[in-house]
Chains A and B, each alone.
Chain A
Amino acid sequence: MLQRVFQIIGSMSMVSAILFVGHLSQAEDDPLVVGASLAKTGSGSIPACSSCHGQLGEGNAAAGFPALAGMNAAYLERQLLDMKAAKREINPAMKPIIDGLTDGQIRAASTYYATLEKPKPVPATGDIERGKWLVERGNWDAGVPACSQCHGPNGRGINEVFPSLAGQSALYMTNQIAAWKKGTRTNDTNGLMASVARRISDADAAAAAAYLQQLGGQP
């Protein structure tokens, strides 16, 4: 009888042990856990994403470091992979980081940041009224569609092809428009954004970007 009790206790601990180990390996594989760890503490020689992209993934508007919080996961992943493949112009500070990240880590960080709350509004200087017009109506006299015609109402983002613009760093966005114009960013689907960018004046790019930054992330 006593032996039977020990047998039961023994098998129960075995079950617990298996469950515990299972839980541990699950946590190590969970992209949200891996992504959060990369974001907050980095990995090996790779610094924490948050050291440039902010504690909340809100980016650094003044420095032009993009907000990542609440962006579409597949979009973020593609951007990071394209940076690695040199299809996107890249900040020199980001270069060693992107080269050091595995594809799995890239996916994990992207998955994690997509779950965060979209960035808060950051005040911006510029022609906000003109920017609002461009976002909502465009400048068709120069063949420029409204930002919202592809990126959704108030630039809130549609999917992995048409990312959120609202609450993004204005400087980051004008840098990207410039990169498309120069041809140093070429990873847009079907060359759609490159075509639009070539029709946008620098003044209009700055106005639209300022409006979108101060708008903050849109639900």
Chain B
Amino acid sequence: MGERPKRWDPGARNEAYAELEHPADLFVEVWGRDLPDLFENALFALYDQMAELEGFRIERAVTIEVSGPDPEETLRSLLSEALYRFATEGFVATRAELDVKAAPEGPVWVTAHLHGETIDRRRHTLLTEVKAVTYHRLTVERNPEGGWRATVLFDV
């Protein structure tokens, strides 16, 4: 593993993801240099939409392991798992280290070490209640000019 990742910077969200137009739900487009970077930015997008990340300290770590038959399913499972930990433990990450193994044209395994803090309603501001990570318009693709792109629809 290379240099220790910095905590996510909400000021730099325009480089990680963008909100696309959708009449009711939260539809995002995410970018990454490679698959680990793409998955990490998708996690950032989820937490960034749920809470004001500036107020969170790094106090505990949570490890999530998921796998899926393709990058799409794997990405959805990863986000869904993070959402479950948010809903049941109030855990919000502000940085992550990801280990991604992908077989060509096949299954993907992800181990994500998430670093963050449990919500404290006196100090933290929560923004949007994400109900679920849907399968709808779920895409992960490699750009012809390099890098990766994903779209994810969150039910809110």
The judgment on whether A and B are partners is no
Interface residues of B (CB under 8 A from A): none
